[in-house]
Amino acid sequence: MSRGGGQAAVRVVPAGTTDAPAPVAGPVRVRISDLSKSYESDRGPVQALSGISLDIHDSEFLTVLGPSGCGKSTLLKCVAGLEPVTGGRILIDGKPVTRPPPDLGIVFQRDLLLDWRTNLDNVLISVEFLGLRKRDFVDRARQLLDLFGLAGYEDRYPWELSGGMRQRVAICRALVDNPGFLLMDEPFGALDAMTRDDLNLELQRIWLRDKKTALFITHSVPEAVFLSDRIIVMDRNPGRIAAEFVVDLPRPRTLSDRETAPFIRYSAEIRATITGMGILRNE
Amino acid sequence: MSSLAAGRRRSRFATDILPVILVLGGVVAAWQATVMAFRIPTFLLPSPVAVVTEFLSAPAFYLSNTGFTLTTTVAGFLFALVIGVALALLIVSSRIFDRVLFTLLSALHSVPKVALAPLLVIYLGTGMTQKVVIAAMIAVFTIVINTVVGLRSVDPEVLNMAHSKQASRLKILLKVQLPHALPNLFGALKAATTFTLIGAIVGEFVAGEQGLGYVILTAQGAFDTPRAFVAVVILGLVGTSLFHLLAFIERKVIPWHVSIRSERRR
Ligand SMILES: Nc1ncnc2c1ncn2[C@@H]1O[C@H](COP(=O)(O)OP(=O)(O)OP(=O)(O)O)[C@@H](O)[C@H]1O
Ligand SMILES: [Mg+2]
């Protein structure tokens, strides 16, 4: 893995695994080289990202972990072609990103539901934007809402839902046209632990079944270990990659796997690295 | 369940409608009492009874003049709505239109439209057209400004969401920006009902031989104060009705908006 900018990035392989090659080595879908991004603000430019180099492989589940404000959302938007980069470049399937690629599904950090549409119509707006025939997707939209525990809420409005329910509608909206490339910005941040477990399982199932390429953002170390093939830890000021972990655990993973020794070893290792770098405090 | 709903309806009557009736009734009663107690001559201040009597003496006359003013007002309103929304769409969809039209409109807006009314008689004559144009002109600016603000104030992250699904500009305009602008548009339209009514009356003041404004003008010439009062009271009723009609349509069209939802909960 080449890494520009001379950052002291650590590649950590937990004790017990041999010098591991990445378990997924499909073709590279996204190649980020020496990416930097600064925002213009009234008080001069804000350096949000610096020297980011990273490959995302086809069908890989990659998670970005990092403290608030380290540029995770910015990285996601640059990859999505929604924010112009200020340095370096991003290639998707070999082509420079200038606009959102087709085949894309984004779960944003906020749910962004439209108040004037029912929940079902909020899901289906993706289809309308894409210019596909809406009625071909009504059944799938209903199935998705059902899958995410929202059966019976199809004809209600977003403002009649709890924050966690709204976020689940937003997930359905991202998934309704079955995109192959998923970008998720803390999609489960607003959920209680039980629902979160449930949706982690569901996400793994969907990802395994459809072989999607996924870039996932979270604050939760166990969630990252549970879902990911690979985990990137970011540090801030400016946002950069601080460490990388390969999670070589068999799939499908179950919730109780989280109490097994290898799983705990990964979590502990990641947490120790993060704490050691002063990104997070231990107490 | 149904008794609960009935209870809510009754309390709605008690909290919303009853106070209005009481206040209005109180004002009318006080007005009548004042006129009688101080023996105010009718040509200075006619009593409510005198006003009603005057109306009943020639209902057809008053209704036909009301019809004329109402037609002018509604036509002016519809013109302002169509032209205002069209201009707003042009302004948000092109930078050139934004510069040119906005400059032009602000210049036009800073001229008191009432001052243009006599001029319009030269171009458009003394018929209804001139009055409709004045009414529309007075209302159109508010509609443009508010609609532009509504169309532009969509959360940029929502636009990102749309772009992530390859949405075209037209789709974003129709499916996101326009619905988002509806609450602003309705705010402007409610104000526009008053503006267009003012425009219609100004048009009648300047020229013409029909309408409630014309009735007031001729009544004043003849010192026929009760006649002027009937026209003024009808104008008040027309203005209020138009406003509430708009508020009613608003509740039907954007029941999802926070302002309506919180109103319902009160
Ligand atoms: N549109 C913007 N304009 C200016 N600065 C911005 C903008 N968006 C983000 N930033 C800045 O860039 C930095 C990274 O922000 P970003 O939203 O990517 O962080 P994050 O890692 O997603 O944080 P969180 O975990 O809290 O969501 C922050 O310092 C933020 O202030
Ligand atoms: Mg973020």
Residues 214-233 of A with CB under 8 A from B: none
User: Residue A9 has what pLDDT?
Assistant: 46
B3–chain A Cβ distance below 8 A for any pair: no
* Closest-CA distance of chain A to residue B176, Å: 8
CATH of A3-103+181-276, one of 3.90.280.10, 3.40.50.150, 3.40.50.300, 3.10.20.590: 3.40.50.300
CA dihedral A80, A84, A86, A89 (to 10 degrees): 40
Taken in order of first residue, the domains within chain B and their CATH numbers are 1-39 (no CATH), 43-265 (1.10.3720.10)
Helix axes B212-221, B178-206, angle to 10 degrees: 30
Determine which residue's CA is closest to atom 12 belonging to ligand 1.
A48
Query: What DSSP character marks residue A239?
Result: B
Cβ atoms of residues B32 and B46 within 8 Å: no
Cβ atoms of residues A67 and A186 within 8 Å: no
Determine which residue's CA is closest to atom 4 belonging to ligand 1.
A39
- Confirm or reject: Cβ of A72 under 6 Å from ligand 1: yes
User: Residue A11 has what pLDDT?
Assistant: 54
Q: Residue B81 region, left (φ>0) first, then alpha (ψ -120 to 50), else beta?
A: alpha
**CA dist., res. B34 & res. B182, Å (int):** 46
Beta pairing partners, A231: A63, A245
Tokens 């072609």 appear where?
A81
**CA dist., res. A193 & res. A204, Å (int):** 16
A47–chain B Cβ distance below 8 A for any pair: no
* Closest-CA distance of chain A to residue B16, Å: 26
**CA dist., res. A88 & res. A175, Å (int):** 30
User: Residue A21 has what pLDDT?
Assistant: 46
Alpha helices in B94-155 (DSSP H): 95-110, 113-124, 128-152
Identity of the amino acid at B123: Y
Using alpha carbons only, what angle is made at residue B153 by residues B151 and B157, rounded to the nearest 5 degrees?
115
**CA dist., res. A188 & res. A107, Å (int):** 10
- Chain B residue numbers touching A159 (CB-CB < 8 A): 256, 261
- Residue A28, Cβ density class (10 Å: 0-12 exposed, 13-18 middle, ≥19 buried): middle
Of B166, B179, B261, the CB nearest to A102: B166
* Closest-CA distance of chain B to residue A86, Å: 19
Report CB contact under 8 Å: A128, B171. Answer: yes
**CA dist., res. A265 & res. B163, Å (int):** 41
Whose CA is closest to B195, among B90, B20, B72?
B72
In B, minimum Cα distance to A114 occurs at B176
Residue numbers of chain A with a pLDDT score lower than 50: 1-9, 14-22
Cβ atoms of residues B138 and B196 within 8 Å: yes
| pLDDT tens-digit readout, A188-234 | 987 888 889 999 999 999 999 998 999 999 989 999 999 999 999 99
User: Residue B8 has what pLDDT?
Assistant: 60
Tokens 């409630």 appear where?
B212
B171–chain A Cβ distance below 8 A for any pair: yes
Of B163, B168, B175, the CB nearest to A100: B163
User: Residue A140 has what pLDDT?
Assistant: 97
In A, minimum Cα distance to B160 occurs at A82
| Structure tokens, B138 | 């007075």
User: What ipTM was reported for this prediction?
Assistant: 0.89
* Closest-CA distance of chain A to residue B5, Å: 20
B99–chain A Cβ distance below 8 A for any pair: no
Of B164, B258, B261, the CB nearest to A104: B164
CATH 3.40.50.300 in chain A, residues? 3-103+181-276
pTM for the model stands at 0.88
| Structure tokens, B221 | 């010439």
- Chain A residue numbers touching B169 (CB-CB < 8 A): none
* Sequence-separated (6 or more) residues with CB below 8 Å from residue B206: B117, B118, B121, B130
Of B157, B162, B261, the CB nearest to A159: B261
B12–chain A Cβ distance below 8 A for any pair: no
- Chain B residue numbers touching A116 (CB-CB < 8 A): 179, 182, 254, 256-257
**What is chain B's pLDDT, residue by residue, as a tens digit (266 residues)?**
445 555 566 667 778 788 889 999 999 999 999 999 999 998 899 999 999 999 999 999 999 999 999 999 999 999 999 999 999 999 999 889 888 888 888 888 888 888 888 999 999 988 999 999 999 999 999 999 999 999 999 999 999 999 999 999 999 999 999 999 999 999 999 999 999 999 999 999 998 889 999 999 999 999 999 999 999 999 999 999 999 999 999 999 999 998 888 876 65
User: Residue A15 has what pLDDT?
Assistant: 44
